[in-house]
Structure formats: C-alpha cells, structure tokens
Amino acid sequence: MATFKAIRIDKAEKGTAVALTQFDEAELMDGDVTVSVEWSTVNYKDGLAVTGKAPVVRRFPMIAGIDFAGTVVQSSHSLWKPGDKVICNGWGMGETHLGAYAQKARVKGDWLVRLPEGMSTRDAMAIGTAGYTAMLSVLALEQHGLTPKHGPVVVTGAAGGVGSVAIAVLSKLGYHVIASTGRMSEAAYLRDLGAAEVIDRSELSGPAKPLAKERWAGGIDSVGSTTLANLLSMTKYRGAIAACGLAAGMDLPSSVAPIELRKNAWSRLASDLDRKKLTEITHEIGLDQVIAAGARIVAGEVRGRIVVKIV
C-alpha cells in the first residue's frame, strides 16, 4: 500500500505526541469515498488537538484536522464519482475519524457537500468550519425574522475566524455591524471587513444587568459566558442572538446539521461572502507549519483565517 504525508497524533506516556510523518494508506478508516485532499484550515479545535491542551482526540492514531476540500479519487457511493470537487467539515474528523491534515482522506459519502460553482477548494477552506458556523448563525437570525431594517447587529470575537466571516457577510447583506474585540489594534482590519463600529470587549465583560439599555437588534456570539449574558440583556425586544461558541473553545457541533442545511449554508457563502474580503481575512501556510499554527491559535494570536495547502 502507498503512504502519504499526514500530521499524526499518537498516545504518549504523558499526553500525546504529534508529528508530520508518512501514513500508511492501509490504516485509513472505513468509508465509501476516498478524497485527494487539496486544502484544509486551522480551527481552534485543531489547535487543541495538535498541542494536546484538551482531550479532543478520542482514538489513536489520529490524523488531525476537522475540515477539508479536495477531489474524489475513488467512490462506491451513488452521489460521487472520481473528479468531483467536494467539501467535508465536522462529522468527528480529527476526533474519532481520521482527519484532514493528510494528502488522502476516506470518509462516508453522506458527509460530503459538493463544492459550489465558482468557488475554489482554497476558497472553501478560507471559509472553513469557522465561516460555515458564521453562515449558520446568519441563517438562524434570518429564520428569526431579523433584517437590516430592524437595527444594528453585534459580532463578538470579531477578529477571529467566525467573527471575521460574520462581519463580511452581514455587512454585504446591508446590516450595520458593531464589532466587539479584545484587540482594538485590529480596528482598521474590522472596518475594512465592513464593521460600522468597533467596541472593546470590556464593554461586555462585566456582570450582566437583567435589563440593560437596548443597543442592537441581534448578533452573533462566539465567546459565551458573561459576554453572551450582556449581549442578551442589551438586545432589543423581539431581537435574537445566535450563540455559536465559548471562549474556552467549544465549537458549534455542526455535524448534527441536516445535509440540506449544510448545502444551503455553503451555497449562501458562495453568493453572500465577498471574495475580496475573504482574501483580506486569509493567509496561507504549508502542512509543515500546522503544528506551530495550532499553538498560535490556542494562544489567541491568530487573526481571521488560515488555509493549509496540503498538496
């Protein structure tokens, strides 16, 4: 059997051991579609996995990486054939199923979404699980009836992956976006993405009042805890907050989203996310730089999105 490059995590005497190494194709897990992985990304959960700072990995050996985009090379699934361009995010990859930081992945065909027309595999991973989570949050606000005419919307954790994409999408849709960040040095970056106002996260970090002054019609929160409590107390009557994460790093459990919702989210990202802004959000690294990038994202030192070139 052939081997390929992968970031492998093994159980060690103390914690875990991670390395970029050759992985034997015979060790790939069961699945009816094999994909040549072209691009991945670095999410907070990936950072926890490669640094071993939290028990993210549930089986060993594990290939890290929770999302990828690439080309089908082999399939026994009725929906997919060799040459199809696909996206996969969630479904336990990098936790219980071998993940994305590898030149090959074998998964269930039911987990895959077709790459939207006009979107490259690189763009898909510039968006990644963070951008997908942001889009699910926008869809949730729309399902609640929120529109730009209802008033401002707030985005917390604004300089991170979810926040950056959320600002870009919401501003394109015509919302007055208020960006909340703990890094006021990123104010110019956030305004370039479309934020109309930038506020310091300290305004939302104190004890929440049961009823504070109404400041926004809705928002997207990736921070949780006291911040979310303050957001809710400052939300206008009949407003809505889409809560999609915690400061401790808990991701939106996107793998439970029905496949039609996944397709809709990726389709909307193709139409509602300005590609120029996506370029401004993103920087690129190689597979050999992922472990270091994982440490940086856990330390809160990453702005926007990281795409990982696999091939």
pLDDT the model gives residue 245: 74
Model confidence at 96: pLDDT above 60: yes
Cβ neighbours around 196 below 10 Å, total: 15
Which CATH number is 129-243 given?
A: 3.40.50.720
Average pLDDT estimate for 40-46: 94
Model confidence at 100: pLDDT above 90: yes
Average pLDDT estimate for 157-164: 95
Q: How confident is the model at residue 250 (pLDDT cuts 50, 70, 90)?
A: very low
Model confidence at 117: pLDDT above 80: yes
> What does the DSSP 8-state code read for residue 105?
E
pLDDT the model gives residue 257: 63
207-245: pLDDT as tens digits? 888 778 999 999 999 998 889 989 999 999 999 999 987
Model confidence at 129: pLDDT above 50: yes
Residue 300 or 285, more confident? 285
Q: How confident is the model at residue 13 (pLDDT cuts 50, 70, 90)?
A: confident
Share of the chain above pLDDT 90, in %: 86
Average pLDDT estimate for 69-84: 98
Inter-residue contact 66 to 48 (CB < 8 Å): no
Q: Which residues pair with 154 in a beta bridge?
A: 178, 219
pLDDT the model gives residue 143: 96
Domain 3-115+279-309 classified CATH 3.90.180.10? yes
Residue 246 or 152, more confident? 152
Candidates 280, 269, 242; CA nearest to 128 is 269
Q: How confident is the model at residue 248 (pLDDT cuts 50, 70, 90)?
A: very low
pLDDT the model gives residue 254: 34
Q: Go through the chain and tell me how many residues it has.
A: 311
Inter-residue contact 231 to 219 (CB < 8 Å): yes
Phi first, then psi: give them for residue 217, nearest 5 degrees: -85, -20
Average pLDDT estimate for 146-171: 97
Nearest-angstrom CA–CA distance, 225 and 119: 35
Average pLDDT estimate for 107-117: 97
Domain boundaries, the chain: 3-115+279-309, 129-243
Model confidence at 83: pLDDT above 90: yes
- Report the range of poorest mean pLDDT among 125-129, 137-141, 225-229, 263-267: 225-229
Phi first, then psi: give them for residue 36, nearest 5 degrees: -80, 110
Alpha helices in 67-115 (DSSP H): none
Share of the chain above pLDDT 70, in %: 96
Q: Is it true that the peptide bond before 61 is cis, omega within 30 degrees of 0?
A: yes
Model confidence at 251: pLDDT above 80: no
Average pLDDT estimate for 52-57: 90
Q: How confident is the model at residue 54 (pLDDT cuts 50, 70, 90)?
A: confident
Model confidence at 252: pLDDT above 70: no
Q: How confident is the model at residue 27 (pLDDT cuts 50, 70, 90)?
A: very high
Average pLDDT, the chain: 93
Average pLDDT estimate for 147-164: 96
Residue that the structure tokens 């959000």 belong to: 281
pLDDT the model gives residue 276: 93
pLDDT the model gives residue 258: 74
